[in-house]
A and B are shown apart, each in its own frame.
Chain A
């Protein structure tokens, strides 16, 4: 089944304890992206990657890192999580980005609570 998977789905951690949220897609998509969703703010893009070894900042990259060593994986790393990073995180992928496309396939989400 074509899908985007994220792990873990739920995570409670403490301030400063490094964590990684994994994202994997089995559709051979070039483009992958991370979003966070907060009440009243909608979805905001954190980082995106247009291909292996190519990553770029989105609208809210502070406090996050990503890597794209393989086409299928795009982990999100929080080196020193803080309470303001408590949020619902989504990974997404897309087969291509050139116009007129951009349709993205979303993972199920990771709910993170930083105490």
Chain B
């Protein structure tokens, strides 16, 4: 149980385009979903927290107009990187909370984004 999927796993795009990443909890309802970014050999950096049906809460320094988050249902959240630039190239990972133990965040497999 507590499986989280993420799609796509790899994205290569041109600078200026937008990229959408989907995160799904497959066997539990996720009351809260989280979006992280991780650069090589660095710690996880929380970008935003989203609850189903409400606006996401963004961490300081994360541009909400650039990283659009939609949490439309208890099993799906999406992150859209708008007008991507090379500096947005990173490993984006979502996590979902709502399985057991109750407060545990279960992570998706991550999405590698490369902006050319």
Asked if A pairs with B, the answer is no
A residues contacting B by CB (< 8 A) are none
